[in-house]
Amino acid sequence: MLEILTQSPHFYDYVTAAVLLLGVFNVAEVLFLLWNKARVERSELKRQDLKRLASTALITATDPAELLPKPADEEDFAAYSEAIASVLDSFEGEIAVKAVGLISDLGIDEHYRRLARHRVWYKRGNAIDILSSFRLKANKEFFLAVFRSETSLDVRYRIIYGLSLLTREHSDIRALARMLSGLPYLTAKYTEDIFYNIITALKAAGNEAEFGIFMREIMHDGAVLNLVKRDCITACYAASCEKGRGLLMEYYAAFPEEPEILMAAVKALARIGDFSVMPAAIRHPDWRVRLAALKYAHLCCMDMIPEIRALLRDPNYHVRLNAALALAKSGEKGRAALREEAAGADAFAASTAAYALGQEAA
């Protein structure tokens, strides 16, 4: 039986060693699990205590650093940074100033700056996330320096995210745009997040107009992806950028062949109450643009019922259905049109009209 193996002088020694090793490993794993359970439970309690203590000290004490024990391990740093970030999110003025002071008094920024150069990429990423959550202006130069030497794309995206929270002026936006275009396009959500952060930071600094200047600059810049331009527009939508009305109209006019940009522009304009592009949008050859326009058509004060009614015969199912829903929401005139269609000979139009009327009645 398996002579070549079993006749080898050390075969049984190796197998015995493997069995013993596995046995010891199994017992060690079980013991480790039990020890780890106890350790985690202890550290969770300690972490909660520290967070509570830090939050209370920041709100009540004049010099919180005097009251708080120095962080001794990773858990302590994590607890303090969470507490400080929460305070910074919720408070301004004196308490926020104390929280920022505490970051350096307890050596938290130093600790995470060290970790941001750790050899394991996800630890670096986590450190960048934590530093970002403090929104410290002083971290800007550090982020830029780390970005230059960073090799992991995941971490670089996180650094840009951190920098987007610190945007103050035009040069910051340009620098971020350059950094973004140096990396592969990630996702719409990520780019929108970045621009949303930029707009929010600029708004807070009273510099919202800077974003408009930036968008005008990139409008005809071939080096900037159309997807990025679209994400800028959707960020405007998310951040309710009211000053961008004219600019959004320009974008709508400048990209007649780009449905992604047109859809974003239609939505963003509708959000700020501008429906001037609606008549053109619901006649657009691309069904996605027609659909985007139909979602807001009922809010438009122009009489668009004939145009919407025509879309009940659209070749696209989604457009037909949303045209019916838009009519149902367009007051008595719209519902009358639906009733006529529901009794009409066109089966497609009749079924969608009946559905929309049923919805409205329910």
Partner 1 sequence: MKFFLLWAAVHVSQYVLFLYFLAINSVYTALILLALRDIVRHAYLTTSRVSRRQLASEFYFKPVSVIVPAHNEAAVITQSVQALLNLHYPEFEVIVVNDGSTDDTLERLRLDFSLLPCAKPVRLQVPHEAIRGVYRSSVYRHLIVVDKFNGGKADAINAGINVSAYPIFCSIDADSLLEPDALLKSSKLFLEDDELIATGGIIRILNGCMVRDGAVTEIGLPRGFLEAMQVLEYTRAFLSGRTGWNALKSLLIISGAFGVFRKDMVVAVNGYRKTVGEDMDLVMRLHRHCRDRAIPYKILFVPDPVCWTQAPYSLRMLLKQRNRWHRGMIDALLTNREMILNRKYGATSLIGISYFVFVEFLGPLIELFGYLSIPVLYYFGLLSTKFLVMLVLLAVFWGISINIGAVFLDIYNFRRYNRTSDILRLCVLSAAEFFGYRQIMLLERLKATLTFRKKDWGTQDRRVFEKKGTAV
Binding site for partner 1 (CB under 8 A): 1-2, 5-6, 12, 15-16, 18-19, 22-23, 25-26, 29-30, 32-34, 36-37, 40, 81-82, 85, 122-123, 125-126, 129-130, 132-133, 158, 161, 186-190, 192-193, 196, 238, 317, 321, 351-352, 354-355, 358-359, 362
Shortest distance (Å) from residue 220 CB to partner 1: 25
Shortest distance (Å) from residue 208 CB to partner 1: 18
Shortest distance (Å) from residue 15 CB to partner 1: 5
First to last CA, the chain: 78
Residue 71 is encoded by which pair of tokens?
């962080």
Complex with partner 1: residue 214 or 237, whichever CB lies closer = 237
Complex with partner 1: residue 7 or 62, whichever CB lies closer = 7
Complex with partner 1: residue 78 or 269, whichever CB lies closer = 78
Complex with partner 1: residue 74 or 94, whichever CB lies closer = 74
Cβ atoms < 10 Å from Cβ of 158: 24
Shortest distance (Å) from residue 347 CB to partner 1: 10
Contacts of 55-58 with C-beta under 8 Å, sequence gap 24+, read 55/83, 55/86, 55/87, 58/83, 58/84, 58/87, 58/95, 58/98, 58/99, 58/102
Shortest distance (Å) from residue 302 CB to partner 1: 27
Shortest distance (Å) from residue 157 CB to partner 1: 10
Residue 99 · residue 84 · CB < 8 Å: yes
Q: Nearest Cα to 122, choosing from 91, 90, 155?
A: 155
Complex with partner 1: residue 30 or 61, whichever CB lies closer = 30
Residue 57 is encoded by which pair of tokens?
């000290």
Complex with partner 1: residue 63 or 89, whichever CB lies closer = 89
Single-letter amino acid, residue 12: Y
Complex with partner 1: residue 2 or 301, whichever CB lies closer = 2
Shortest distance (Å) from residue 63 CB to partner 1: 26
61: left (phi over 0), alpha (psi -120 to 50) or beta: beta
Q: Nearest Cα to 297, choosing from 286, 318, 281, 317?
A: 281
Task: Please state at what angle helix 317-328 crosses helix 331-342, rounded to 10 degrees.
Answer: 130
Alpha helices per DSSP H over 135-258? 139-149, 153-164, 170-181, 188-204, 209-219, 226-238, 245-254
Taking the C-alpha atoms of residue 157 and residue 203, their distance in angstroms, rounded to an integer, is: 23
Ramachandran angles phi, psi of 301, nearest 5°: -85, -10
CB burial of residue 227 (10 Å; 0-12, 13-18, 19+): middle
Q: What single-letter DSSP state applies at residue 152?
A: -
Cβ atoms < 10 Å from Cβ of 43: 17
Single-letter amino acid, residue 301: C
Complex with partner 1: residue 40 or 61, whichever CB lies closer = 40
Shortest distance (Å) from residue 215 CB to partner 1: 19
Residue 74 is encoded by which pair of tokens?
């990773």
Shortest distance (Å) from residue 325 CB to partner 1: 11
Complex with partner 1: residue 171 or 317, whichever CB lies closer = 317
Shortest distance (Å) from residue 259 CB to partner 1: 16
Complex with partner 1: residue 119 or 220, whichever CB lies closer = 119
